[in-house]
Amino acid sequence: MATAADTPGTAAAADIAAMRRAVALAARGLGSTSPNPVVGCVVLDASGHEVGAGWHERAGGPHAEVHALRQAGVLARGGSAYVTLEPCNHTGRTGPCAQALIEAGIARVVYAVGDPNPQATGGADTLRAAGVEVVAGVLEAEAEAGNAAWLTSVRLGRPYVLWKYAATLDGRVAAQDGTSRWISSPESRADVHRLRAEADAVIVGSGTARTDDPHLAVRGIEGAVQPLRVVVDTEATAVRPGARVLDDAAPTLIAVAEDAETDLPGVVRLPRADRGLSVPALLAALHERGVRSVLLEGGPALAGTFVAAGAVDKVVGYLAPVVLGAGPAALADAGITTLTEALRLDITETVRIGPDLRITAVPTTPDKER
Ligand SMILES: NC(=O)c1ccc[n+]([C@@H]2O[C@H](COP(=O)([O-])OP(=O)(O)OC[C@H]3O[C@@H](n4cnc5c(N)ncnc54)[C@H](OP(=O)(O)O)[C@@H]3O)[C@@H](O)[C@H]2O)c1
């Protein structure tokens, strides 16, 4: 029987189809694998039929390849494995995947993105040395986008930051009197719970904590791993005992100044900056705690200093068909005083969520930190 490898045209199409499925599988791990990447794997037998599939479900658990190989059993022999990230070469909490693929008798490994982690890289070389055919870079951009949080955190040494806001059509996130519940629709708010579930930490500033007493935990998503709830409260005056963010629905960290007076548990002390606390120090403290992706939920003042620090990697705005005419804008001072300094973005997606419009965008100009 002709295999996919015999005819280059079919080979490309078959490789892309299998890798696309692996990318979709990888996404199922978002929010539960940190500090590890999300990874998906599909195993085809020697005649090109899928016999195994899996994804990395949680840190400390088996890697995607192991799940897929277990499912495939002896049918993996002489077959192909499609992996979204170069198979690892090191023994961490689990054994090296390159070795597992060799032992399973896999003849061909196709991966999308090379492993930038210096401890894990080298899997492709190990496979080649064992006589396995290795193809790299298939559907690389899609797999990169799916793993953006982890790849960014490895490359920059800080968590990936997604800034999310809900605004009126005239760009306001609250009314003049500070009320902001609710600008967006129930559908958009449910969508935000998905973003929270995919993040390792959710951050708000003390202004939002004071005005809204937000809960910040994930609701309505079965099996979701709760993110770390973070409030940036320089003087330790906004989060009071009894605040909703202090309940036991999820872990909580209050970031305060080194000299702040507080008896609250779960506090991290950070250096002050021109405005509030240092954003790089906050991100470094979170990175040290294994946080690889952050959902920044505002408000406008905190989001402004994140933008000023070059620490926003993606923006998700929910635009509601409402106008207010007065009230704070989605973003406060970001250190931009003239148009040539504007942070310009590429829109990567627009989608209707209930009555609202969700716009996703990524910065086009290189961030100042990079
Ligand atoms: N619609 C939406 O999407 C949305 C989302 C969130 C909030 N909101 C609304 O926005 C309003 C609150 O926003 P806000 O801008 O007043 O407050 P905020 O951004 O939530 O918090 C700002 C405060 O955080 C503290 N902070 C600590 N480090 C900081 C830093 N590096 N940069 C900036 N601030 C830092 C500062 O106070 P200290 O230094 O004293 O701690 C600062 O005043 C509320 O009306 C809320 O309802 C709307």
Q: Tell me, what's the pLDDT at 248?
A: 96
Q: pLDDT tens digits for 125-135?
A: 999 999 999 99
Residue whose Cα lies nearest atom 32 of ligand 1: it is 302
Bridge partner residues of 167 (DSSP): 319
Which helix (H) or strand (E) segment is 306 a member of? helix 300-308
133 noted as active-site residue: no
pLDDT tens-place string over residues 183-240: 999 999 999 999 999 999 999 999 999 999 999 999 999 989 999 999 999 999 999 9
- Give the binding-site residues of ligand 1, using a 6 Å CB cut-off: 165-166, 173-174, 178, 180, 183, 204-208, 211-212, 232-235, 273, 275-277, 279, 297-302, 305, 328, 332
1: confidence class by pLDDT, cuts 50, 70, 90: very low
Among residues 158, 194, 216, 224, the alpha carbon closest in space to that of 360 is found at 194
pLDDT band of 365, cuts 50, 70, 90: low
Q: Are 252 and 231 within 8 A, CB to CB?
A: yes
Torsion of CA 294, 369, 349, 111, to 10 degrees: -80
How buried is residue 81: exposed, middle or buried, by Cβ count under 10 Å (0-12/13-18/19+)?
buried
- pLDDT value, residue 93: 64
Which among 173, 204, 210 is the best mutation to test ligand 1's pocket, defined by most ligand atoms within 8 Å of the CB? 173
d(CA 82, CA 143): 12
CA gap 165, 159 in Å, rounded: 19
- The CA–CA distances, whole Å, from 106 to 45, 82, 143, 177 equal 9, 11, 22, 64
Tokens representing 196 are 């929270």
pTM for the predicted model, two decimal places: 0.90
